[in-house]
Homo-oligomer: A and B are copies of this chain.
Amino acid sequence: MTQVRKRRPPATPKQAAACCGPLDDLLDPVLFKAFSDPTRVALIACIAKCGRGCSVGEIAECCSVDFSVVSRHLALLARSGVLEATKDGRTVFYRVRYSELCRSLRSLADALDECCPAKGGASNGKCC
């Protein structure tokens, strides 16, 4: 019978870098860049806790920076997939893309677990 050979974790970091796994796609700098600025994080928290679509004007009342700055941050957050923009007349509503965001975060956590030797992850071949 053919034995199912368990894939080993890469012996060196260089080998690890060469073999692509789920981590490489999930560790997206563009997504996490969205969460790397205090002002943006405040905006995200604000909209997330509100639980509904919010207009730019409403959101701008939450923080002390200029209206134009808020507008730019929101556009960036929409581009990076954190928020979703819908336009109604001249008002733009931004809402949090809860499910997509949660899925990304949990997938990343899962992918990390797959690599973790302590959890038997690294020897199951799913890491890369």
Q: Which residues of A contact B (CB under 8 A)?
A: 9-10, 12-17, 19, 21, 23-24, 27-29, 32-33, 35-38, 40-42, 44-52, 54, 58-59, 61-63, 96, 98-99, 101-102, 105-106, 108-109, 112-113, 115-119, 121-122, 127-128
Are A13 and B98 CB-contacts (below 8 A) given A23-B48, A44-B27? no
- With beta carbons under 8 angstroms apart, the residue of B27, B28, B99 that contacts A116 is B99
User: For the complex, would chain A's binding face be called helix, strand, loop or mixed by DSSP majority?
Assistant: helix
Chain B contacts for A48, CB-based, 8 A: 16, 23, 112, 115, 127
- 28 CB < 8 A contacts A-B: A9-B49, A9-B52, A10-B49, A12-B50, A12-B58, A13-B58, A14-B46, A16-B46, A16-B47, A23-B49, A24-B45, A27-B41, A27-B44, A27-B45, A28-B41, A29-B38, A32-B41, A48-B112, A48-B115, A48-B127, A49-B115, A52-B117, A52-B122, A98-B116, A98-B118, A102-B113, A105-B105, A105-B108
User: Other than the known A10-B50, A14-B62, A27-B44, what 7 A-B pairs have Cβ atoms closer than 8 Å?
Assistant: A13-B58, A29-B38, A29-B40, A29-B41, A99-B118, A101-B112, A102-B109
